[in-house]
Amino acid sequence: MYDLSQLKVSNSPHIRSEDNTRQIMLDVIIGLLPALAMALFIFGARAIISVCVSVVGCVFFEWLYCKLLKKPQTVGNLSAVVTGLLLAYTLPVTAPWWMILIGDFFAIVVVKNLFGGIGKNFMNPALGGRAFLMASYAVYMTTWAKIRTALPLFSNADIVTAATPLSSLKAGQLPEASILDAALGMVGGSLGEISALALLVGGLWLLWRRVINLRIPVSFIGTVAVLTLIFHKGDAGALTWMAYQVLSGGLMLGAIFMATDYASSPVTPNGQIIYGIGCGVLTVLIRYFGSYPEGVSYAILIMNCCVFLIEKISQPVKFGYVKPVKEPKEKKEAAK
């Protein structure tokens, strides 16, 4: 006789993959590290302080929300850490700590948890937080420190500012920085968005780990590239104009890390392509015609709101789908 006392009887399937939510979030965090290293190199210790404030703030608000509402604690899935990192990456490095915390609160509590927590938020929390700060503290949000200068760790006194490539592009001119500098991130801009190459390395990591697929990043960046190639400005040719457009601003960060956010992007394969193209079109429209120099964050937020509509029109055609045959009119009338 065998001991069967420890048996569990449950429905199939009886095996599951090793993937889990926490591992996915950890992979995203790892994917964001190269950009953090570049930020440290370009902006110095101030960048690390901003990121730490943001991460700690997000984790704290997540913990507090669950605690106060007596919900199961969700800090362990690390999604708050990802939101904290992403929010800090989209802010100027000189953003004051109290402002970052306000952004954290709005991102974690209002955008994410009030809509039901992880997976239920219809907007990317980090971008929601950024949009809130943009509307509230426009001056702080558009102060761009000159790169490779010593920044005070906490105060905002004596900050040397500089133009970003995007402001030149907005004016229809090519930036002073070389394309190589723009790719490496040796230009002004938000904390974590400036180094396109570091973000691409992170994107490759996510692809290799199968956290994201190519559909959204390629359709997003591809649309921006094609549109800027067709409607080019400046006097150095279409390709140069396109290269600056693609490498500058938040496009890489947005296309690789923000637009691919699971909760606020479509789950259907075709929907992801439609969504990516929509993001690209809106980005170019805002960059060309909007009042802001940068359009990525608003483009993604607007497309976030369309996700359910996109999913409706892009539901996969089921296996074995048969087109319903329309009954000929005579038959219908005969049946009557």
Task: Name the site residues for another protein (rule: CB under 8 A).
Answer: 2-17, 19-21, 23-24, 72, 74, 79, 117-120, 262-263, 265-269, 272, 315-322
Amino acid at position 192, single letter: G
Q: Which is nearer to another protein, 12 or 291 (CB)?
A: 12
Q: Which is nearer to another protein, 149 or 314 (CB)?
A: 314
Q: Which helix (H) or strand (E) holds 181?
A: helix 179-184
Q: Which is nearer to another protein, 20 or 136 (CB)?
A: 20
Shortest distance (Å) from residue 261 CB to another protein: 9
Shortest distance (Å) from residue 111 CB to another protein: 15
Q: What is the largest CA-CA distance in the chain?
A: 87
Q: Which is nearer to another protein, 205 or 244 (CB)?
A: 205
Q: Which residues share a beta bridge with 161?
A: 145
Q: Which is nearer to another protein, 72 or 328 (CB)?
A: 72
Q: Which is nearer to another protein, 146 or 312 (CB)?
A: 312
Distance between terminal CA atoms of the chain?
A: 69
Q: Which is nearer to another protein, 289 or 319 (CB)?
A: 319
Shortest distance (Å) from residue 85 CB to another protein: 17
Contact 217, 255 (CB under 8 A): yes
Residue partners of 255: CB distance under 8 A and separation at least 6: 216, 217, 220, 221, 276, 279, 296
Shortest distance (Å) from residue 264 CB to another protein: 8
Residue partners of 119: CB distance under 8 A and separation at least 6: 262, 263
Measure the CA dihedral 219/220/223/224, to 10°.
-160
Shortest distance (Å) from residue 42 CB to another protein: 32
Q: Which helix (H) or strand (E) holds 176?
A: none
Residue partners of 282: CB distance under 8 A and separation at least 6: 295, 298, 299, 302, 303
Phi, psi of 161 (to 5 degrees): -100, 160
Measure Cα distances from 173 to 100, 196, 236, 288, 318 in Å. 32, 20, 10, 12, 49
Measure Cα distances from 164 to 52, 119, 146, 170, 219 in Å. 25, 34, 9, 10, 25
**CA-to-CA distance for 82 and 258, rounded, in angstroms?**
10
Q: Where does residue 120 rank: exposed (0-12), middle (13-18), buried (19+ CB within 10 A)?
A: exposed
Q: Which is nearer to another protein, 125 or 185 (CB)?
A: 125
Q: Which is nearer to another protein, 6 or 291 (CB)?
A: 6
